[in-house]
Amino acid sequence: MSRAALLVLADGRFPAGGHAHSGGAEAAVHAGRITGAASLEDFCRGRLHTTGLVSAALAASAALGVDPAALDAAADARTPSPALRAAARKLGRQLLRAARATWPGVELDALARRFPKGAHQPVVLGVAARAAGLGPQDAAHCALYESVGGPATATVRLLGLDPFDATAVLARLAPEADRVAEAAVRAAHRVAEEGADALPAASAPLLELLAEAHAARTGRLFAS
Amino acid sequence: MNTAGVRAEAEIRARADGRGGTALPVLESRGPLALRRTRGSGAAAHVTLVGAMSGPHGGDHFTVRADVGPDARLRVGSAAATLALPGQHGGQARQDVRITVAAGGELHWLPEPLISVTGSELAVHTHVDLAPGARLVLREELVLGRTGEDPGRLTSRLTVRVDGRPVLDQELDCGPGAGGGWDGPAVLGGHRAVGQLVVCDPEFTEKPVEPGVPADGLAVLPLTGPAVLVGAVAADALELRGLLNRAPAFFTPGSPASA
């Protein structure tokens, strides 16, 4: 594995459009459910174990070379909110563009042909990790870090939360993220053997419900 | 001697009787689960699941199968809420529900809520396999604890396939020992009742349902495929039922009530 390539892919400045999304944090702030560092931490912990775990398992499976189309269909079934499916495909399309320019290769080209409107972002992330010479564990960690890094950064902008406090939340969650990454990689190896049904399906009802209301709201700062 | 728990199975097979009605060639139940044919209306057969004992307790394993043939119509309800209870010997209880509906068949699966009692540990998995052209209305209501009580551990997974393709695969894990943050602002946020209505109808292919938020805590979510999920969170079982009852009129006028 290449540690430097992992840093390039995981960097928030990687030009994949993630900064326009809050991972549901804006809707949760609007609903009065995130009000400071403590509730942000609880929000992010919930994301880690639900959508974070699923994304990490999708990314790790794609990094192992599992058929992206099967993973993408499984991602659809695990994302009942049309607003979140649209956001995931948009992010996937943007990531694919950046990844093809960064690590050109046949697998990324094939993915672009198969999904002209974009595949789910974690699936693209896994194929991009593969193209960068990274493994399933790297892909899982990237997906998990994104699942909490986005909300933390967004909350700094939305609530004026102290950036030191937001970063401390991420640091406190790191050991838990490591454990979830291990679970995601174990699931990915099962997926490679048994198929996409072996993917975890952990759901977060409030994320799904609030995402639809958020998509319909005018004057929002983040797309999702 | 088996002290680990009770195994119970129940099976329903519904078939079109060729005269516009629905026959039930198989209606079998063993152990604490009991099935009763109740008065039907029109073309649909009605079956009520009666818990002859309360349960499932820790260590128990219940399996319920329902198979609806071409053009048959079946409605399944339950006599009362199901209580997930702690077992004498501890351990997890399991409940598997396996549903298949053939082309032209229709199933309304409308059980009363599942209540996770303090100290209980239950894993539920509902598998639904629909042929193209099958219709389904499925309601699931989960209540975290009896009034004023902390919930047990409850894991509930619902997998729906149409023509072999997954359209919905969701698992909720809550209570002591569940993944961190389960009661936090991303997952349940203090709500003690969570439920969903899954509606599959081939007509959705022609007439797609619009997503929407008809009320606070309620969302109409069209899935990828001829299916819609109506999801809801509420303070308690009563409020949850009230929310879910508001939903069908938005896209299937009178559907669940008319079966």
Indicate whether B164 belongs to any domain: yes
In this prediction, residues A128-136 reach a mean pLDDT of: 97
User: Hey, of B165, B200, B224, B230, which one would you mutate to test binding to chain A, going by the most A CBs within 10 A of its CB?
Assistant: B224
Q: DSSP letter string over B197-233?
A: EEEE-THHHHSPPPPEEEETTEEEEE-SSSEEEEEEE
Grade residue B192 by pLDDT with cuts at 50, 70 and 90. very high
Calculate how close chain A gets to B129, using CA atoms only, in Å: 14
- Asked if pLDDT for residue B252 goes beyond 80, the answer is no
Nearest to A205 among B181, B223, B233 (CB): B233
Q: Let me know if residue B9 belongs to a domain.
A: no
What chain A holds in terms of domains, given with CATH numbers, is 3-7+33-216 (1.10.4190.10)
B223:A77 CB<8 A: yes
Band of the pLDDT at B89, cuts 50, 70, 90? Answer: confident
Residue in A53, A77, A83 nearest the CB of B168: A77
Q: Which of A76, A147, A214 to mutate to test the interface with B (most CBs of B within 10 A)?
A: A76
Mean pLDDT, chain A, whole residue set: 96
pLDDT at B156: 97
Q: How confident is the model at residue B249 (pLDDT cuts 50, 70, 90)?
A: low
Q: Please report residues of B whose CB lies closer than 8 A to that of A212.
A: 211-213, 219-221
pLDDT in tens, A194-207: 999 999 999 999 99
Q: Give mean pLDDT, residues B118-131.
A: 96
Region A143-167: mean pLDDT is 96
Least confident of A26-35, B13-22, B88-97: B88-97
pLDDT > 60? residue B255: no
Range of the domain at B28: 21-258
A204 vs B: CB within 8 A: yes
Q: How many helices (H) and strands (E) does chain A have?
A: 11, 0
What percent of chain B has pLDDT above 90? 76
| pLDDT one-digit tens code per residue, B53-84 | 567 888 889 999 999 999 999 999 999 999 99
Look at residue B15 and tell me if it is in a domain.
no
B231 assigned to some structural domain: yes
* Residue B50 lies inside a defined structural domain of this protein: yes
Average pLDDT estimate for A104-117: 96
pLDDT above 80: residue B143: yes
Contact residues on chain A for B211, CB-CB shorter than 8 A: 81-83, 212, 215
- Region A28-55: mean pLDDT is 97
Q: Do A201 and B186 touch (CB under 8 A)?
A: no
CB of B54 closer than 8 Å to CB of B117: no
Calculate the CA dihedral of residues A16, A20, A24, A28 and round it to 10 degrees. Answer: 160
**Backbone conformation region of residue A193, classed left if phi is above 0, alpha if psi is from -120 to 50, else beta:** alpha
Q: Is residue B4 part of a domain?
A: no
Token pair of B236 as six digits:
């308690």
Report if residue B79 sits inside a domain.
Answer: yes
Closest-CA distance of chain A to residue B231, Å: 7
**Angstrom distance (rounded) from CA B198 to CA B179:** 25
CB contact under 8 A, B181 and A43: yes
Q: What total of structural domains would you count in chain B?
A: 1
CB contact under 8 A, A81 and B221: yes
Residue A32 clears pLDDT 60, i.e. is over it: yes
B5 domain-assigned: no
pLDDT of residue B256: 40
